Chains A and B, each alone.
Chain A
Amino acid sequence: MEILTKDFSLAAQMVKLFDDNHDLIFKSDTPEITDRRKIALEVFKRLGFPDNKDEKWRNTDLKKSLQAEYNYYFEPTFQKGIDLARIFQCNIPHLETDMISQLNGWFISENGGIKKHADGVIVGSLAVAQKEFPDLFDQHFGRYADNEKSGFVALNNAFACDGVFIYVPDNVQVKMPIQIVNIIHHDQNIFVQNHNLVILGKNSQLQLVQCDDSVDHQRSLINTVTEVFIGENASLDHYKLQNKNDVATLINSLFFHQERDSRLSTNCITLNGGIIRNENYVRMNGENCEANILGVYLVDKFQHVDNQVFVDHAFPNCQSSELFKGIVDDSARAVFNGHILVRPDAQKTNAYQNNKNILLTDKATVNSQPFLEIYADDVKCSHGATVGQLDETAMFYLRSRGISIENSRMLLMYAFAAEIINHIKIEPLKIRIDDMVKKRLRGELSVCEQCVLHCSTMEKPINFEIDLSKI
């Protein structure tokens, strides 16, 4: 374990940490990967951690997060054979998933850290995959997560030694959703960097649920990079659930690389967290790609959520659609920055972008910046952003039927969020998220002893109709 103190620049300490620990960081590397790590570190030296002078970070202030004391580990922070069930249980009724877990960024393995299923699907630890499947690993690792995007990505590419590795071979449709649970649980402040790699072969299909949870109230800085390769005509249905404690800082960078005719749907649901920054990069690297990028965030107190979306339309005849909706309460802040790039050859591009917000107080703030950069002439693109209060006329309509102010507000907020929730294609997950959103809106959702997915008072999973009498 290494201690990063708050007395020196964290960036300088990270560089020193890298130089002092080559043996631990490089231990499973091929020379090629070691070289890439070194390059990434050089980029990090140049970029450093982002600050408010950087246009992309103007509205997200990390000073406090970067000036705290953290523990850093190059080895798992837990014993082999840990009983995960004692720390965490995912209790979504009727949700059957192939669940894999990470604790403080380290893969929790039961049998050697990796499993190869009969259909060729490989699921396991990134560290183990690096050793056992070096070809696959070298072919994809660090190829999509561009160091130049931010100091966090570069730092992760240099340091990350573990995470989740998923490989779906060509023509395989994975029936059961895979669920990655990423838990932070430690008795000290902790800085975690993990790196997930997901590879979908041609014509394959996968549903992937990524959960980020805290199970304690310690401060943490989490720098996660997930690289996803979606092969030709493959389809990925991806969900990201974020429920962190109020002193957690989560930097979550997702890189989706789509080959021709592939389909991506990604839905990011942020329910709680201190500072959460989601960077979604979608590269359309062939014709006829389709991407739906959705998100909903419900923040209050002094929470901060920042969603960045960059869609790179590099080839013709692709479609992308973004919709992010948020309800911002108390002194919370939300940031949205959407950037659609349509390159000169990407004719017949359809790209839509929308960000809608409801501000519940005068102190809550939203910074929304939709941005289109178009170099082709035969395209359909649109963007929009709204920030508003609850609709007065709708409030009057509901109240004129005898519904109280509180319940009318609740109904309208729920309805606002439901537009995103309704896109969830895994039914039990939809019901559960729906419950959580209702709880969140009522102020009943918090980081529980276990996880919010394990609420002691579970609501009845009925027909997806809200029992408004309970709201």
Chain B
Amino acid sequence: MLSIKNLHVAINGREIIKGLDLEIHAGEVHAIMGPNGTGKSTLAGVIAGREGIYDITEGEITYKGKNLLDLPIEDRAREGIFLGFQYPVEIPGVSITNFMRTAVNEIRQYKGLPQISAGDFLKKMEEAKKLVGIQSKLTNRSVNEGFSGGEKKKNEIFQMAMLQPELAILDETDSGLDIDALKIVANGVTALRSDENATIVITHYQRLLDFIVPDFVHVLFEGKIVKTGGKELALELEAKGYDWLKSEV
């Protein structure tokens, strides 16, 4: 589904990702772990297509056989890529309902489908809300405005449920969540798992992976994937810390 080969990315002339390779197939859950500042969020931003920050100096990314780097942000989303933001953006004046209806309809239009009916849309909203346990009145509020940290993260998963992506990238979705919120978020992600879609979970701690069980764990260190293993690698990292890796690299 997603194939990254020899990716090099610089920010303001400083190389952050230094030759990264990653293969992701439908049905898989990949965890990317690593200490702060090693390029985890940069990788997420590059896949989602954020403009004006990243300079891709080398390498390629193909997604479903297409050159992903040629696609603008919105087309990547319409092709099924979803980024759960580490810091969801507040957009005063735009209600979540309208935001989602626009997004759903633009994606449907891209796929040549008619606009979603009001009834179907409401039904979809209800299901997605139930999945992450957010209250009805929240969706009438402006996007993320005045939301608590937990509400913002739940709102990301809610949007994921609404848009049903093929490839979801969750960037530090666990940060700032208490254990209850973490469980809700993780259960949401798990419920959305299928053989057709894939998930990349970017996280600092092993904690989230107790709830979202990964098929692969990659350790990103100084811009490269230095180690790949199964879910047990996460436990090993938790026990030994990242210093253990430094000595190995």
Contact = CB atoms under 8 A, between A and B. Distances in A.
Interface stretch (B27-35, B87-95, B189-197): B87-95
A161 B47 CA distance: 68
A402 B93 contact: no
Interface of A: 391-394, 396-405, 407-408, 411-412, 414-416, 418-419, 465-466, 468-469, 471
A466 B93 CA distance: 11
Interface in B69-84: 72-74, 76-78, 82-83
A394 B51 CA distance: 12
A399 B73 CA distance: 6
B244 interface: no
A95 B190 CA distance: 51
Nearest to A464: B95
A399 B74 contact: yes
Given A400-B73, A402-B74, A469 B91 contact: no
B101 A402 contact: no
Nearest to B85: A397
Contacts of B110: 402
Given A396-B89, A400-B73, A402-B106, 16 more contacts: A393-B89, A397-B85, A397-B88, A399-B72, A399-B73, A401-B100, A401-B103, A402-B78, A402-B110, A403-B103, A415-B94, A419-B93, A468-B101, A468-B105, A469-B115, A471-B102
Contacts of B78: 402
Contacts of A418: 93
Nearest to B45: A396
A412 B73 CA distance: 17
Contacts of B94: 411-412, 414-415
B163 to A, nearest CB: 7
The 5 closest A-B pairs by CB, nearest first: A415-B93, A402-B77, A468-B102, A397-B89, A399-B73
B98 A466 contact: yes
A414 B142 CA distance: 13
A396 B89 CA distance: 9
A415 B91 contact: yes
Nearest to B83: A400
A404 B74 CA distance: 6
Contacts of A399: 72-74, 77
A394 B101 contact: no
Among A394, A396, A408, A466, the one with the most B-chain Cβ atoms within 10 Å of its Cβ is: A396
Contacts of A401: 77, 82, 99-100, 103, 159, 163
B47 to A, nearest CB: 10
B212 to A, nearest CB: 21
A405 B101 CA distance: 16
A393 B159 CA distance: 17
